[in-house]
Amino acid sequence: SPTDLVPLLDRIIDRVKPEADERKIGIVRSYPAQKTMAFVDPNRITQVFYNVLTNAVRYTPSGGSISIRMTDRSRDGSRLAVVDIEDTGVGIPAEQLPFLFDRFYRVEESRSRHTGGMGLGLAIAKEFVEAHQGFISVQSEVGRGTRFTVQLPCD
Protein backbone atom coordinates (compact mmCIF):
# COMPACT_ATOMS: atom_id res chain seq x y z
CA SER A 1 0.00 0.00 0.00
CA PRO A 2 1.17 3.56 -0.61
CA THR A 3 2.92 5.56 2.11
CA ASP A 4 1.85 9.04 3.16
CA LEU A 5 5.12 10.98 3.06
CA VAL A 6 4.09 13.73 5.50
CA PRO A 7 3.92 11.64 8.70
CA LEU A 8 7.02 9.79 7.54
CA LEU A 9 8.97 13.07 7.30
CA ASP A 10 7.49 14.31 10.59
CA ARG A 11 8.73 11.19 12.41
CA ILE A 12 12.25 11.66 11.05
CA ILE A 13 12.25 15.32 12.06
CA ASP A 14 11.18 14.27 15.58
CA ARG A 15 14.18 11.95 15.74
CA VAL A 16 16.76 14.62 14.90
CA LYS A 17 15.03 17.44 16.81
CA PRO A 18 16.78 16.91 20.17
CA GLU A 19 20.22 17.32 18.61
CA ALA A 20 19.08 20.28 16.50
CA ASP A 21 17.54 21.97 19.56
CA GLU A 22 20.67 21.42 21.57
CA ARG A 23 22.71 23.21 18.91
CA LYS A 24 20.07 25.91 18.34
CA ILE A 25 19.41 24.81 14.79
CA GLY A 26 15.85 25.60 13.72
CA ILE A 27 13.93 23.20 11.51
CA VAL A 28 11.10 24.52 9.36
CA ARG A 29 8.85 22.40 7.20
CA SER A 30 6.40 23.01 4.42
CA TYR A 31 4.15 20.41 2.84
CA PRO A 32 1.69 20.37 -0.04
CA ALA A 33 -2.04 20.76 0.69
CA GLN A 34 -2.82 17.50 -1.08
CA LYS A 35 -1.85 14.15 0.42
CA THR A 36 1.34 12.77 -1.09
CA MET A 37 1.12 9.01 -1.31
CA ALA A 38 4.13 7.15 -2.68
CA PHE A 39 4.59 3.49 -3.47
CA VAL A 40 7.79 3.08 -1.50
CA ASP A 41 9.29 0.81 1.10
CA PRO A 42 8.74 3.01 4.18
CA ASN A 43 11.78 1.64 6.00
CA ARG A 44 14.13 2.37 3.14
CA ILE A 45 12.69 5.79 2.40
CA THR A 46 12.90 6.63 6.12
CA GLN A 47 16.60 5.70 5.93
CA VAL A 48 17.06 8.00 2.91
CA PHE A 49 15.60 11.08 4.60
CA TYR A 50 17.20 10.23 7.92
CA ASN A 51 20.66 10.06 6.30
CA VAL A 52 20.20 13.39 4.51
CA LEU A 53 18.71 15.12 7.55
CA THR A 54 21.33 13.89 10.02
CA ASN A 55 23.96 15.27 7.64
CA ALA A 56 22.17 18.63 7.55
CA VAL A 57 22.26 18.76 11.36
CA ARG A 58 25.81 17.46 11.60
CA TYR A 59 27.29 19.84 9.00
CA THR A 60 25.44 22.98 10.09
CA PRO A 61 26.97 25.18 12.78
CA SER A 62 24.99 26.16 15.87
CA GLY A 63 22.39 28.82 15.26
CA GLY A 64 21.77 27.76 11.66
CA SER A 65 18.59 26.49 10.11
CA ILE A 66 17.25 23.62 8.07
CA SER A 67 14.26 23.71 5.80
CA ILE A 68 12.33 20.67 4.61
CA ARG A 69 9.97 21.40 1.79
CA MET A 70 7.82 18.96 -0.08
CA THR A 71 6.00 19.87 -3.27
CA ASP A 72 4.39 17.76 -5.92
CA ARG A 73 4.94 18.04 -9.60
CA SER A 74 3.73 16.16 -12.61
CA ARG A 75 6.15 14.93 -15.19
CA ASP A 76 5.12 13.12 -18.37
CA GLY A 77 1.65 12.58 -16.94
CA SER A 78 2.82 11.00 -13.66
CA ARG A 79 3.16 12.60 -10.26
CA LEU A 80 6.40 13.15 -8.41
CA ALA A 81 6.98 14.10 -4.79
CA VAL A 82 9.88 16.55 -4.61
CA VAL A 83 11.52 16.96 -1.21
CA ASP A 84 14.14 19.67 -0.70
CA ILE A 85 16.29 19.53 2.42
CA GLU A 86 18.24 22.74 2.67
CA ASP A 87 20.67 23.86 5.35
CA THR A 88 22.70 26.94 6.18
CA GLY A 89 25.77 24.82 6.87
CA VAL A 90 29.41 24.69 5.82
CA GLY A 91 28.68 23.86 2.20
CA ILE A 92 30.62 21.58 -0.15
CA PRO A 93 33.28 22.68 -2.65
CA ALA A 94 32.05 22.28 -6.25
CA GLU A 95 34.97 20.01 -7.21
CA GLN A 96 33.96 17.52 -4.52
CA LEU A 97 30.26 17.32 -5.42
CA PRO A 98 30.71 14.62 -8.11
CA PHE A 99 32.02 12.16 -5.50
CA LEU A 100 29.56 12.89 -2.73
CA PHE A 101 27.39 9.81 -3.30
CA ASP A 102 30.39 7.45 -3.54
CA ARG A 103 30.89 4.91 -0.78
CA PHE A 104 33.28 6.07 1.97
CA TYR A 105 33.65 9.51 0.42
CA ARG A 106 33.93 12.39 2.87
CA VAL A 107 34.67 15.97 1.97
CA GLU A 108 38.25 16.98 2.76
CA GLU A 109 37.38 19.18 5.73
CA SER A 110 34.96 16.71 7.35
CA ARG A 111 37.62 14.01 7.50
CA SER A 112 39.62 15.86 10.10
CA ARG A 113 36.62 17.22 12.00
CA HIS A 114 35.17 15.49 15.01
CA THR A 115 31.94 14.73 13.27
CA GLY A 116 32.27 10.97 13.11
CA GLY A 117 30.92 9.30 10.02
CA MET A 118 31.96 6.55 7.64
CA GLY A 119 30.99 8.25 4.40
CA LEU A 120 28.20 5.75 3.72
CA GLY A 121 25.00 7.69 4.43
CA LEU A 122 24.63 9.29 1.00
CA ALA A 123 25.74 6.18 -0.93
CA ILE A 124 22.96 4.23 0.79
CA ALA A 125 20.47 7.05 0.22
CA LYS A 126 21.22 7.12 -3.51
CA GLU A 127 20.97 3.35 -3.83
CA PHE A 128 17.55 3.28 -2.10
CA VAL A 129 16.17 6.27 -4.04
CA GLU A 130 17.23 4.77 -7.37
CA ALA A 131 15.73 1.42 -6.40
CA HIS A 132 12.41 3.32 -6.27
CA GLN A 133 12.96 4.89 -9.73
CA GLY A 134 13.66 8.21 -8.02
CA PHE A 135 16.44 10.79 -8.18
CA ILE A 136 18.64 12.47 -5.62
CA SER A 137 20.72 15.54 -6.36
CA VAL A 138 22.70 18.17 -4.51
CA GLN A 139 23.49 21.85 -4.88
CA SER A 140 25.87 23.61 -2.56
CA GLU A 141 27.84 26.74 -1.94
CA VAL A 142 30.78 26.83 0.46
CA GLY A 143 30.03 28.93 3.51
CA ARG A 144 26.36 29.32 2.57
CA GLY A 145 24.78 25.91 2.70
CA THR A 146 23.60 22.83 0.88
CA ARG A 147 20.38 21.63 -0.68
CA PHE A 148 19.54 18.01 -1.37
CA THR A 149 16.57 17.24 -3.60
CA VAL A 150 14.89 13.85 -3.54
CA GLN A 151 12.28 13.04 -6.17
CA LEU A 152 10.04 10.03 -5.77
CA PRO A 153 7.27 8.77 -8.05
CA CYS A 154 3.86 8.81 -6.36
CA ASP A 155 0.20 7.88 -6.96
Handedness of CA 104, 38, 6, 98 (dihedral sign): positive
Q: What angle do CA 15, 99, 70 make, to 5 degrees?
A: 40
- Confirm or reject binding of residue 92 to ligand ATP (CB under 6 A): yes
- Here's the x/- map for Mg ion, 54-83, by CB under 5 A: it reads as -x----------------------------
* Other Cβ atoms within 10 Å of 122 Cβ, number: 22
Is residue 107 near ligand ATP by the rule CB under 6 A? yes
The counts of H helices and E strands in the chain are 4, 7
Question: Which x/- pattern over 114-153 shows residues binding Mg ion (rule: CB under 5 A)?
Answer: -------x--------------------------------
Q: What x/- string results for residues 18 through 57 when contact with Mg ion is judged by CB under 5 A? A: -------------------------------------x--
36 binds ligand ATP (CB under 6 A): no
Residues in CB range of 72: below 8 A, 6 or more apart: 32, 34, 36, 79, 80, 81, 82, 154
Which three-class secondary structure state does DSSP give residue 38? Answer: strand
Give the interface with ligand ATP as residue ranges (CB under 6 A).
51, 55-56, 59, 87, 89-90, 92, 100, 105-107, 110, 117-123, 146
Give the interface with Mg ion as residue ranges (CB under 5 A).
55, 121
